[in-house]
Structure 1
Amino acid sequence: MFLEKIAESQSKFFLFGLVSFIIGIAGASVLGLTRKNLFFLSCCLILLLVSLGITISKKWRVLIVLSIFLFLGVWRFVLSEPAKSPQNLRFFTGHLVIVKGILISAGEISGNYQRVYLNSQALKFFVDDNYKKIQGKTILYLEKYPLHDFGEEVEVRCNLTDPKELLKDDQFSYAAFLQKEGVWTACFNAQIISNLQPRHFSFYKIFLDLRNYFNQKINYLLPEPQSSFLRGLLYGDRTTFPPELRNAFSKTGVTHIIAISGYNITIIVVGLLVLLKFFGLSRRRAFILILGVILFFILLSGASASVIRAGLMGVLVLWGRQIGRQSSAGRVLILAAAIMLLFNPRLLLFDVGFQLSFLSTLGLIYFSPILEKILVKISALWGLKEIIIATFSAIIFTSPLIIYTFGQFSLVAPLANLLILPVVPLAMLLGFLCLFLGIIYLPLGKIIAYAAWAVLSYILKVAEYLAGWKFSALNLSLPWWLAALFYLFLVYLIYVNSKKSKI
């Protein structure tokens, strides 16, 4: 009966095909399948295609096609592992080599070293040897100074290493983190022999330079830590954000306001919608304006894959609020997730940012209507009700994953978000105005900076005060099966609510 219903609707058939594809990727991730399993997977796929050709029953044909989608998901995950061929950097793991390539990130200080990603172009074993063309990314661990920048073309001497072999304390998670970035080797104690070019032109570099210019202006207009906080708030730059404030934000569950994730953008999107509606802007105009803000945020943050994914999640929430149709928004979310996983299947299990983005968006689409029914008798309170519903929907859907992954649960997160989130759009607006006017005429920017400083200080003080409570956060451990049961319960609540809505 279920399969026949799927067969009757093309949209349902396509939707369940995408879900099967995602399940296939999840299964391959959990089982840890590699290229060694490729022959077996190929045989299974051929067998399914042959079965599809000889099967007449519509019900069985649907089941076989869904199985093909599932195996395609498994196939895609396995193929995301680079082949160990002489054309790939991974082939030379364990060798001392000289690699020529382009830095694809700015240098990031971490402890006593500097960390930067390199996109390799050529490789040789000795200084007087000839370069051989290769491809593949690696992560360089260099001396702390001088700081290197995106776009530098360099020659590096290093001993290529498998990250699993050196980082014994957290083998799987760190290796998996690098793999989802397309990095399968690491260069510890790397030494840059020469800079072949001071810069390599790209539009990404233009926006990095623009961001550095904005950083200088913000530093001049505002003191610390307000200036660091504003940079994190406007475009996710947390490089100089004080560790004690990071800890306070983590304890109070408000880190998302300075993080580049879909969780961050979805909450801010709702806040901006409420603020713009409060000032009398129509839903359509607010939609266009916020769309422009998201695009600007993506470009200014460097337009990396993670930032684009976060922006896409924010656009989905915005679009869902615009059309007001739960089913359409949910289908587009699954389609977006499937497309992102098609490009990078290792995001599903190995990228917490992707998981939090997906779950928070899912909560805003499907769980916020349940909370709206519960709070139906409460007045709008100048838009605060909408922010409360959005915040709690995201918190409920992301808390099990946060506890499972980080082992911490913030008891004050609901209160902190209630006190902080309503003023985040105002802080962003004042911060943007102070920066914009400061570029045009510095004294005018200074005037607005006083108001921005007051709002930013309020947020920081609330976070510090609540983080100082004795039981602000609990250290908890949550087994995966208990987290899975919680999510199954949420799915059940959504199902019951959808059935009641149809009556």
Structure 2
Amino acid sequence: MDRAILISIFSFAFGIFVSSFIFLTPVVSTFFIVTALAMMLGEKVWTGKIEKEILFVALALISFGLGSLRYAVKDFHEAALPLREGVVVSEPEQRDNATRFVFKSDNRERALVSTDIYSPVQYGDRVKIDGKFKIPEMIEDFDYPAYLAKDDIYSTMSFAKVEIISSGHGNKIKSALLKIKHSFVGKIRENFSEPYASLLSGLLVSGRDAMPKDILEEFRKAGIIHIVVLSGYNIALIADFIRKVFRNNWLSIIAILLFVIMTGAEATVVRAAIMVLTVILAKMLGRKYSAPRALVFAGFIMLLENPKILVFDPSFELSFLATLALIYVVPIVHKYLKFIPEKWSKLKEVVATTIGTQLTVLPLLIYSIGDFSVVSLPANVLVLLIIPYTMFVGFAAATLSYVSAFLALPLAYLAHLLLAWIIFVSNFLGNIPFASLAVPNVSAWLIALVYASGIIFVWRWRNSPRHLTN
């Protein structure tokens, strides 16, 4: 049963992958499905039963056809420019001296709009925009049109003049959650100076959108940018905290779903949340939890909702690979760190996690970005150990400040010290001349070969007599 499900899911994903590069008409996709059904029917009539091999092949063909059909449905779009009036359907973000938001016009077309950085526009505002709509173009080797199209955005407008007509046209729940988020970030800014306020906001609720550009660049060069992108690591800590606070499975599920909505439901957040929710549901149903199955299930749900993220969303790809590394690669690395004493088990865990995840995502990073951090290992070792404490103390300080800023002062001071250490590490290591090395363009086939070799190595290691004995 498990094998049949895995074959179906991977064939579905492969159908999406092929359709991302080669246009398959619905007729071709339907042909795969009809062929598979005819194959099973013929086998049943001819032999009186359906052999396992025939069933698996049929399932693969049907799932491939369904995957390509799902992509075709998502990719269908009749070209049309947005109208001038519509609603702001995303949380506006300040980036590159501008305020950016997704605009959904009255003809249901979406556009990515950039306006003045001090614009008061908010999620749910009905606005009238003035400017020139443009069709997105390729940025060197980056397929920017496909990247935006995954979110149904087919137009952009820069330097737009925005007139707010009315407010309150967004989802009521999301609007309320964003108000809570803005209030919480406001409390953080009241208790912490910059850049510490932005860093703490990034760790807890805002991701890297809250961070100044120069600090982000230092984090990227130091190889610790993942701590401020609301990665699976952050979400796992937050979800575990929520579960312990509520001590009720249903309340925990609701709280985690609300948190996902509040943070914008990005790929890393959704994947991590699905995996955590799978853990909770498994405990509720008295079932054993399997991390690989949970990851495959999370990926399948996300592809079903938006198939374009498989190829055109680097965030999804990197987070999925990093989680695979935690499951399959980190245990291998851990075995080779015997020189680290067991009394330093936390340090050993951080070193293994850093090496395992960095090795796994490195080929994709080199292919998509063109550089990698040489100082990533020491930076992560110096930072990751204190991230849970920084998040907890910072959250407690901001929450307590609603009652009394004076009572929150000791916790705010402690959080400030922890945040200052993170900033210091990123500043010191990120500004070393050789911290980040550029790599020439490499072939996608070479990257595929590297990952294929890695899969074979992991498979052989997991099936080796020594590992099976242990």
Equivalent-residue separation in structure 1 for 2:444 and 2:112 (angstroms): 31
1:169 Cα deviation from its structure 2 partner: 3.4
The one-letter code of the counterpart of 1:440 is V
- Indicate yes or no: 2:44 matched with 1:81: no
**2:169 counterpart SS class:** coil
- Indicate yes or no: 2:219 matched with 1:219: no
Q: Which moved more, 1:326-335 or 1:199-208?
A: 326-335
**2:5 counterpart SS class:** helix
Given that 1:106 and 1:116 are in contact with CA atoms closer than 8 Å, whether structure 2 keeps it comes out as yes
Equivalent-residue separation in structure 1 for 2:95 and 2:199 (angstroms): 20
Q: In the TM superposition, what are the counterparts of 1:269-284 in structure 2 within 5 Å?
A: none
**2:463 counterpart SS class:** helix
Q: CA RMSD in A?
A: 3.5
The one-letter code of the counterpart of 1:154 is V
1:180 Cα deviation from its structure 2 partner: 1.1
**Which one of 451, 463, 469 corresponds to residue 487 of structure 1?**
451
**Which one of 428, 432, 442 corresponds to residue 469 of structure 1?**
432
**1:256 counterpart SS class:** helix
The one-letter code of the counterpart of 1:52 is M
Equivalent-residue separation in structure 1 for 2:280 and 2:444 (angstroms): 31
Q: Which moved more, 1:392-401 or 1:366-375?
A: 366-375
**Which one of 82, 89, 111 corresponds to residue 104 of structure 1?**
89
Shift in CA distance, 171/298, structure 1 to aligned 2, threshold 3 Å: same
1:54 matched residue in structure 2: 42
Given that 1:180 and 1:347 are in contact with CA atoms closer than 8 Å, whether structure 2 keeps it comes out as yes
1:313 Cα deviation from its structure 2 partner: 4.7
Equivalent-residue separation in structure 1 for 2:288 and 2:213 (angstroms): 40
Shift in CA distance, 491/231, structure 1 to aligned 2, threshold 3 Å: same
1:49-89 Cα offsets, whole Å, 9 max, x none, are: 333322345223421221111121111111111342xxxxx
1:436-459 Cα offsets, whole Å, 9 max, x none, are: 111111101122111111111011
**Which one of 195, 216, 228 corresponds to residue 164 of structure 2?**
195
**2:342 counterpart SS class:** coil
Given that 2:32 and 2:64 are in contact with CA atoms closer than 8 Å, whether structure 1 keeps it comes out as no
The one-letter code of the counterpart of 1:16 is I
2:460 matched residue in structure 1: 496
- Indicate yes or no: 2:227 matched with 1:257: yes
Equivalent-residue separation in structure 2 for 1:371 and 1:150 (angstroms): 45
**Which one of 55, 60, 83 corresponds to residue 66 of structure 1?**
60
2:110 matched residue in structure 1: 137
Equivalent-residue separation in structure 1 for 2:415 and 2:248 (angstroms): 23
Given that 1:103 and 1:118 are in contact with CA atoms closer than 8 Å, whether structure 2 keeps it comes out as yes
1:286-308 Cα offsets, whole Å, 9 max, x none, are: 99999898657535424456632
Q: Which ranges in structure 1 are unaligned for 5 or more consecutive residues?
A: 1-9, 85-89, 123-133, 274-280
Given that 2:350 and 2:380 are in contact with CA atoms closer than 8 Å, whether structure 1 keeps it comes out as no
Q: In the TM superposition, what are the counterparts of 1:61-460 in structure 2 within 5 Å?
A: 61-84=55-78, 90=79, 92-93=80-81, 98-111=83-96, 113-120=98-105, 122=106, 134-156=107-129, 160-163=133-136, 167-170=137-140, 173-188=143-158, 190-192=160-162, 195-200=164-169, 202-262=172-232, 265=235, 297-303=259-265, 307-313=269-275, 328-376=290-338, 378-381=341-344, 383-460=346-423
Shift in CA distance, 379/168, structure 1 to aligned 2, threshold 3 Å: closer
1:187-220 Cα offsets, whole Å, 9 max, x none, are: 455444x534222251111121112111221112
Equivalent-residue separation in structure 1 for 2:278 and 2:369 (angstroms): 27
The one-letter code of the counterpart of 1:81 is D
Given that 2:32 and 2:61 are in contact with CA atoms closer than 8 Å, whether structure 1 keeps it comes out as no
2:47 matched residue in structure 1: none
**1:55 counterpart SS class:** helix
1:234 Cα deviation from its structure 2 partner: 1.1
Given that 1:263 and 1:360 are in contact with CA atoms closer than 8 Å, whether structure 2 keeps it comes out as no
Given that 2:177 and 2:258 are in contact with CA atoms closer than 8 Å, whether structure 1 keeps it comes out as no
Equivalent-residue separation in structure 1 for 2:73 and 2:225 (angstroms): 35
1:261 Cα deviation from its structure 2 partner: 3.3
TM superposition score normalised by structure 1: 0.80
Q: Which moved more, 1:465-474 or 1:347-356?
A: 465-474
Given that 1:80 and 1:345 are in contact with CA atoms closer than 8 Å, whether structure 2 keeps it comes out as yes
1:240-291 Cα offsets, whole Å, 9 max, x none, are: 522221111001110111103336546x579x89xxxxxxx99xx8999998
1:128 matched residue in structure 2: none
Equivalent-residue separation in structure 2 for 1:222 and 1:253 (angstroms): 25
Q: Which ranges in structure 2 are unaligned for 5 or more consecutive residues?
A: 45-49
Equivalent-residue separation in structure 1 for 2:238 and 2:176 (angstroms): 26
1:145-166 Cα offsets, whole Å, 9 max, x none, are: 4231100022345655432xxx
Equivalent-residue separation in structure 1 for 2:275 and 2:178 (angstroms): 23
Number of residues of Structure 1 aligned to a counterpart in Structure 2:
456
Given that 2:114 and 2:160 are in contact with CA atoms closer than 8 Å, whether structure 1 keeps it comes out as yes
Q: Which moved more, 1:326-335 or 1:493-502?
A: 326-335
